[in-house]
A and B are shown apart, each in its own frame.
Chain A
């Protein structure tokens, strides 16, 4: 089964083909058993989906809509616009946060790579650009101090 012929088969079910495409598909269907089986499967699937009963709302739907309309009209039209504005703001905030998070992650990765490359030292502190810090205690030799004081 050729991919291009399978494409034609799918397209033929939802849009009109050119005469050339139609004759190519017809010829392929005559020749190819696999394509014919695929056509049967698709038609069966579509039959199942299309044959479903239409669902409906529970009785009294129209009354409930009219009641809600009356309630909301009494509350004034502001409530809807406020709700929409809040929703828009939340969406915009969420979108902005995502963009910032992506940009910050990229910047952090670049910084880590730069630090590792420039220090030539693969360590946790090097990756964050930290130097190996020396504390006074590291320089202070207790033995020398004790000797000076005559304790040793």
Chain B
């Protein structure tokens, strides 16, 4: 962990001095984290790729101002999640219903190149339902679920990334889980736990 941070710091310094290779390596090291956040927030759409690229472009432009108070990963997550929330609000304003693109299901979207290790119909079905349920949440609620439950950030880190108090994260988590519970557990008998 510490080694990663030191490597990132060295790469940031080199990128600041104009090294294109250093910046390329930073993108390579952190693209999966950014992808995970933006695709979960936006669905696997062209918008997600655009927001992913924009995240790194903004990071590059802000390199001089980056003081390393947060790790590069957390800093990029913050940019990515804020851009994704902004994109979701724009979508809502435009009243465009962006279809949920599940890899290989949407003919308008190129198929993502990640392989599903549990490539079974049952797993795909559950993943689709979870992704669809996530899309039902408002951006500010979706972001806490993505960061806290899916990306594994602590409640405090989630609050820092989103720039909101811990209490707000907790209340949003609760409301989001109540909604997800209604959407996933009560509307779908197959997903209900045996003990329930």
Contacts and interface: CB of A to CB of B under 8 A. Distances in A.
Classify the secondary structure of A's interface with B.
helix
B94 interface: no
A37 B195 contact: yes
Sort chain A's interface into a size bin. Answer: 20 to 34
Contacts of B177: 10, 42, 45-46
A50 B180 CA distance: 13
Nearest to B152: A50
B35 A57 contact: yes
Interface string B178-196: 0011001100000111011
Classify the secondary structure of B's interface with A.
helix
B12 interface: no
B112 A65 contact: no
Interface in B80-97: none
Nearest to A6: B174
B185 A62 contact: no
A58 B109 CA distance: 11
Interface of A: 10-11, 14-15, 37, 40-42, 44-46, 48-50, 52-59, 61-62, 64-66, 68-69, 72, 77, 80
Given A52-B127, A55-B39, A80-B61, 13 more contacts: A10-B170, A10-B174, A14-B148, A44-B192, A45-B177, A45-B184, A48-B130, A50-B152, A52-B40, A53-B116, A53-B117, A65-B52, A69-B23
